[in-house]
């Protein structure tokens, strides 16, 4: 037997007891004998909740997605629900995506809930994540679960928890539930289902969700405009195939071509390197079909249908992929224009975004006299804003990672309704002789030119997590005083909850500053603002083994060509600094 850290073996030995099935125990024994590195990765910590719930590689161990880790989570959640809703009939809704084992794990989670006397509404087949958020409130549930790992690689799965408002868990509630889970032993899990408490749900919720999506995602587009728009859509082997084609058809969009090679749900995602619509190559098959069909627009969604990528024809006739910030700018501006035309803006509306998204959103929103709210990365924070400010109407909210939410009937990012909204905008723009790109150009000419860039550095496993931690420690302890020749005028440290505003001139004792408290929950994020208007944010991903750098630059130049050249130069200089360090 190869050497295994005694601390790891102590955790492993818990799994070599009769509580665990023979297949699990044999797999662990094989890892001990032949693959100690994988054994260490599987057991060195408990799989934790991150930005978008819990995600991990499927396999045996405390740091893996399996029947025992999810069973323990669900048992702890069941105990917590009973404490929070005493003497009530507790109900929960469960959905799942196309990933390997998702259907089986969803049934296992349903079994544990039912074994604890909790009524379960379980979708009988895969469904989009936003539909689960909708179903929680539609069915008056106290809780919801979706089994998904979004756009992570095929070996991953995940577990998202929603509360009675339809939004994901936020602190301190997530911490309270984790404490409840950590207090349990694996032997405490109740796996024996009460089938009488498990009800399968299908068309009723589907129809209600589709109706709500159409109500919230359509804006006075004529049938002629809809008929004139040629759309190519791909589900990238995910759940959106169950809902988006149907919603587009019911909304009047008949000229929609589906990429058939990617229409079948498949957890291997065989036609793409990554099922992530943020990556241009993920939409290549759809773009090829769009060229063949003479389409105006390409739309692709991630496996659980909560984010979407959009590609549109440029002035040369080829397709350009909008980044998440650009798509958010277009959708937000359009929504504000619609509300303004309908004379519905009265100072009691808000638009939401995140601290790592483009600062341009705030500039646009405040130009309409609408309240702008900003939170940490993740739509759970936007859902919390909707819940915390019931006196305000939520117009729309988005983040740079291709997610958007319209209204409040769903409390998570929603690619179904966002797809319909994009089609509405594209159809109206085409009728007026324009496109999404020309519309974006009009917005830039009014508010100034902004450009964003994301750098993601992958650091896998325990060693990678340590390297990311060391990188953030270095950036925190040795902060930049200038970046690419521009002085840092503000540094926000969300882990400390403190912002430093620096004087632009330096004294003999160094750069002086005033400090203020950041009124946002703590998170491992640093954001630099420089004198020339640039913004550089850095944070470890909460869902993937990555550290991310978000760069935003802007210029007030009136000349489009000149502005873009200035932005490219600024970006290149900042990227050079970050790569050097």
Burial class (CB in 10 A: 0-12, 13-18, 19+), 316: exposed
Among candidate residues 247, 248, 235, the one with its CA nearest the CA of residue 207: 247
Record the tokens describing residue 140, joined without a space.
């008056």
- C-alpha of 14 from chain center: 34
Is 504 in contact with 518 (CB distance < 8 Å)? no
Dist CA 352 CA 301 (whole Å): 22
Handedness of CA 404, 410, 416, 422 (dihedral sign): negative
For residue 140, count other CB atoms closer than 10 A to its CB: 10
CA angle (223 as vertex; 314, 242 as ends), nearest 5: 75
Among candidate residues 259, 288, 257, 262, the one with its CA nearest the CA of residue 275: 262
Is 283 in contact with 234 (CB distance < 8 Å)? yes
Q: How many Å is the Cα radius of gyration of the chain?
A: 24
Query: CA dihedral defined by 169, 104, 417, 393, rounded to 10 degrees?
Result: -20
Judge whether 315 counts as a catalytic residue: no
Record the tokens describing residue 416, joined without a space.
């179904």
- C-alpha of 180 from chain center: 26
Give strand pairing partners of 92. 120, 143
Burial class (CB in 10 A: 0-12, 13-18, 19+), 357: buried
Question: Could you say which of 78, 102, 133, 150 is catalytic?
Answer: 150
Residue 212, H or E segment: helix 203-217
Active-site residue list: 150
């Amino acid at each position: 037997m190869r050497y295994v850290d005694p601390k790891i073996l102590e955790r492993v030995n818990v799994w070599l007891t009769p509580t665990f099935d023979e297949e699990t125990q044999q797999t662990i024994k094989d890892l001990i004998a032949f693959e100690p590195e994988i054994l260490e990765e599987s057991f060195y910590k408990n799989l934790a909740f991150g930005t978008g719930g819990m995600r991990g590689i499927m396999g045996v161990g405390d740091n893996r997605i399996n029947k025992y880790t999810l069973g323990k989570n669900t048992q702890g959640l069941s105990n917590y629900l009973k404490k929070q809703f005493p003497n009530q009939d507790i109900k929960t809704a469960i959905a799942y995506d196309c990933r390997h084992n998702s259907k089986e794990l969803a049934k296992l989670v349903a079994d544990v809930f039912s074994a604890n006397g909790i009524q379960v509404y379980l979708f009988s087949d895969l469904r989009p994540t936003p539909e689960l958020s909708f179903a929680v409130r539609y069915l008056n549930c106290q809780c919801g679960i979706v089994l998904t790992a979004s756009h992570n690689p095929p070996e991953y799965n995940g577990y998202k928890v929603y509360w009675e408002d339809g939004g994901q868990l936020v602190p301190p509630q997530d911490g309270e539930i984790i404490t409840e889970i950590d207090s349990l032993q694996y032997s405490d899990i109740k796996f024996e289902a009460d089938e009488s408490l498990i009800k399968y749900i299908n068309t009723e919720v589907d129809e209600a969700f589709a109706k709500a999506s159409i109500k919230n995602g359509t804006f006075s587009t004529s049938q002629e405009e809809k008929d004139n728009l040629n759309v190519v859509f791909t589900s990238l082997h995910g759940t959106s195939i169950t809902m988006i084609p149907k919603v587009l058809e019911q909304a009047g969009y008949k000229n929609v071509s589906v990429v058939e090679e990617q229409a079948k749900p498949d957890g291997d995602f065989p036609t793409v390197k990554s099922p992530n619509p943020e990556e241009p190559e993920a939409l290549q098959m759809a773009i090829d079909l769009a060229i063949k069909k003479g389409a105006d627009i390409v739309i692709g969604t991630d496996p659980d249908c909560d984010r979407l990528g959009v590609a549109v024809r440029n002035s040369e006739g080829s397709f350009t992929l909008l980044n998440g910030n650009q798509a958010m700018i277009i959708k937000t501006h359009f929504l504000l224009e619609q509300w303004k035309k309908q004379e519905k803006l009265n100072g009691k509306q808000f638009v939401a975004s995140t601290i790592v998204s483009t600062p341009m959103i705030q500039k646009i929103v405040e130009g309409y006299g609408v309240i702008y709210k900003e939170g940490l990365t993740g739509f759970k924070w936007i859902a919390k804003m909707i819940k915390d400010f019931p006196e305000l109407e939520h117009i729309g909210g988005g983040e740079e990672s291709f997610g958007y939410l319209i209204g409040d009937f769903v409390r998570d990012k929603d690619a179904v309704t966002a797809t319909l909204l994009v089609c509405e905008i594209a159809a109206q723009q085409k009728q007026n002789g324009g496109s999404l790109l020309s519309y974006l150009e009009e917005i830039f000419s009014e508010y100034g030119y902004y450009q964003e860039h994301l750098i993601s550095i992958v650091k896998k496993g325990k060693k990678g997590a340590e390297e990311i931690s060391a990188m953030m420690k270095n950036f925190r302890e040795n902060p930049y005083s200038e970046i690419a020749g521009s002085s840092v005028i503000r540094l926000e440290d969300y882990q400390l909850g403190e912002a430093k505003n620096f004087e632009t001139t330096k004294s003999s004792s160094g750069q002086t500053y005033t400090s203020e408290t950041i009124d946002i929950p703590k998170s491992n994020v640093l954001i630099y603002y420089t004198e020339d208007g640039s913004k550089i944010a850095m944070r470890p991903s909460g869902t993937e083994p990555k550290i991310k750098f978000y760069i935003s630059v802007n210029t007030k130049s009136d000349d489009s060509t000149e502005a873009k050249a200035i932005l490219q130069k600024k970006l290149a200089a900042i990227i050079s600094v970050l790569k050097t360090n």
